[in-house]
């Protein structure tokens, strides 16, 4: 079977099954945003790895090297955020074709360095390789958290409210605008904010830490492959189902305007199924809402309730309730890697 049909979740599951990694210190292997390894003193080591591949995750002509450097580290930091951890160190592997110049590399470094110093995530090691043509940047970030503060995907309980931080779908809109109007759309035009969201996502580290420390979130993950697909993953890990109200999904003014102008549904076509939001998806019991509101204000980051966790006996893992109140079925859940 070609991988296109196999799908990423099956692929990862195959890997997990092949290894059945059990070790008293490996608290979580495959199946969450990062691995979790017990350390001395009740602390746990979090580790996560990501790759950005030219032609798949970015186009060279649309992506300034500086922002490629920033994004390659930010996406891994987003995974640390999703566990409620603090980043410590990172390793980077940079694979480049021989025609790439020193200027490109300097800009890539500068982007990595800026994100590194902003979040206190220090460079611990590097590795370089030549490629026949494409650029590839792989980062591995390790962080830490108190063992009993880590928020896993598996903790959602029936009746919990589902929240997302920020707004969704802007990155998917930015990608579309880049494709339609080229790299100039980052600097000017009505959707430059969305293009910036796509090329330069912000890891929600402060929110992730605050939600973990305050013990307000029962389950958490970052949204990298689209809300629908990622919520399904959270539900499967928690052995629960979920209902999401389409009209509750928070979207930006730019995405709203784009929807009005083009007649496309901003929530259905972008916010629910677009990828690379790097916002946090988390669940919390209803009684926490006042404390969550206070925290959201303190962080200047919206926490928006978008649905409810249902018992695992529901017929469908994720049900979307449309603007007219009737449930419907999504044909395509989100961004699949194959």
* Closest to a copy of itself by CB, 76 or 317: 76
119, 205 contact by CB (below 8 A): yes
Distance CA 31, CA 81 (A): 16
Among 43, 297, 298, 332, binds a copy of itself (CB under 8 A): 43
- Sheet with 86-96, strands from edge to edge, namely 26-28, 35-38, 43-53, 136-146, 86-96, 122-130
| Site membership for a copy of itself, residue 301 (CB under 8 A) | no
Contacts of 84 (CB under 8 A, 6+ apart): 145, 149, 150, 151, 208, 209, 211, 212, 213, 217, 220
Q: How far is the CB of 204 from a copy of itself (least distance, A)?
A: 20
28, 36 contact by CB (below 8 A): yes
Q: Which stretch binds a copy of itself (CB under 8 A): 54-62, 238-246, 274-282, 324-332?
A: 54-62
State the number of binding residues for a copy of itself (CB under 8 A).
75
* Closest to a copy of itself by CB, 9 or 149: 9
| Site membership for a copy of itself, residue 328 (CB under 8 A) | no
Q: Which stretch binds a copy of itself (CB under 8 A): 102-110, 163-171, 274-282, 300-308?
A: 102-110
Q: How far is the CB of 103 from a copy of itself (least distance, A)?
A: 9
Contacts of 77 (CB under 8 A, 6+ apart): 87, 115, 119, 121, 141, 203, 205
80, 87 contact by CB (below 8 A): yes
Q: How many residues does the chain have?
A: 338
Among 58, 109, 152, 278, binds a copy of itself (CB under 8 A): 109
Distance CA 143, CA 247 (A): 36
Identify residues 229-268 at the interface with a copy of itself (CB under 8 A): none
| Site membership for a copy of itself, residue 179 (CB under 8 A) | no
| Site membership for a copy of itself, residue 40 (CB under 8 A) | yes
Identify residues 142-171 at the interface with a copy of itself (CB under 8 A): 142
Q: How far is the CB of 19 from a copy of itself (least distance, A)?
A: 4
| Site membership for a copy of itself, residue 175 (CB under 8 A) | no
142, 89 contact by CB (below 8 A): yes
Task: Write out the two tokens for 289.
Answer: 């809402």
Q: How far is the CB of 189 from a copy of itself (least distance, A)?
A: 28
| Site membership for a copy of itself, residue 37 (CB under 8 A) | yes
| Site membership for a copy of itself, residue 332 (CB under 8 A) | no
Among 93, 214, 248, 319, binds a copy of itself (CB under 8 A): 93
Alpha carbon separation from 296 to 140, 149, 212, 219, 244 (Å, rounded): 29, 19, 14, 17, 21
Among 72, 74, 138, 283, binds a copy of itself (CB under 8 A): 138
| Site membership for a copy of itself, residue 35 (CB under 8 A) | yes
| Site membership for a copy of itself, residue 8 (CB under 8 A) | yes
| Site membership for a copy of itself, residue 298 (CB under 8 A) | no
Q: Which stretch binds a copy of itself (CB under 8 A): 30-38, 186-194, 198-206, 229-237?
A: 30-38
Among 58, 87, 124, 290, binds a copy of itself (CB under 8 A): 124
Q: What is the 3-state secondary structure (H, E, C) of 272-286?
A: CCCCCCCEEEEEECH
Identify residues 199-228 at the interface with a copy of itself (CB under 8 A): none
Q: Which of 304, 244, 241, 301 is nearest to 272 (CA)?
A: 244
Task: Write out the two tokens for 247.
Answer: 């009209």
| Site membership for a copy of itself, residue 3 (CB under 8 A) | yes
* Beta bridge mates, 140: 49, 91
């Amino acid at each position: 079977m070609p991988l296109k049909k196999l799908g990423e979740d099956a692929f990862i599951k195959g890997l997990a099954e092949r290894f059945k990694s059990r070790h008293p210190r490996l608290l979580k292997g495959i199946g969450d945003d990062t691995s979790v390894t017990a350390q001395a003193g009740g602390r746990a080591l979090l580790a996560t790895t990501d790759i950005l591949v030219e032609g798949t995750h970015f186009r060279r002509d649309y992506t300034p090297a500086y922002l490629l450097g920033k994004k390659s580290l930010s996406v891994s930091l987003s995974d640390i955020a999703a566990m409620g951890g603090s980043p410590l160190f990172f390793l980077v592997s940079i694979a480049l074709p021989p025609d790439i110049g020193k200027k490109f590399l300097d800009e890539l470094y500068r982007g990595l360095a800026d994100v590194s110093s902003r979040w206190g995530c220090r460079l611990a090691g590097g590795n370089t390789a030549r490629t026949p043509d494409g650029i590839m940047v792989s980062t591995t970030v390790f962080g830490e958290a108190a063992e009993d503060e880590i928020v896993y995907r598996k903790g959602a309980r029936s009746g919990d409210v589902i929240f997302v931080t920020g707004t969704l779908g802007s990155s998917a809109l930015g990608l579309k605008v880049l494709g339609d109007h080229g790299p100039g759309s980052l600097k000017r035009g009505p959707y430059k904010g969305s293009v910036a969201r796509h090329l330069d996502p912000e890891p929600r580290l402060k929110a992730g830490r605050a939600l973990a420390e305050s013990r307000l979130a029962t389950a958490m993950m970052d949204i990298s492959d689209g809300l629908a697909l990622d919520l399904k993953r959270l539900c499967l890990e928690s052995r629960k189902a979920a209902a999401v109200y389409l009209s509750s999904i928070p979207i930006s003014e730019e995405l709203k305007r784009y929807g009005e102008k083009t007649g496309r549904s901003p929530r259905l076509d972008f916010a629910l199924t677009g990828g690379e939001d790097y916002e946090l998806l988390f669940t919390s019991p209803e009684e926490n809402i006042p404390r969550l509101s206070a925290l959201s204000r303190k962080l200047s980051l919206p926490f928006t309730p978008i649905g409810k966790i249902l018992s695992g006996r529901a017929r469908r893992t994720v049900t979307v309730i449309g603007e007219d109140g009737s449930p419907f079925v999504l044909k395509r859940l989100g961004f699949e890697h194959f």
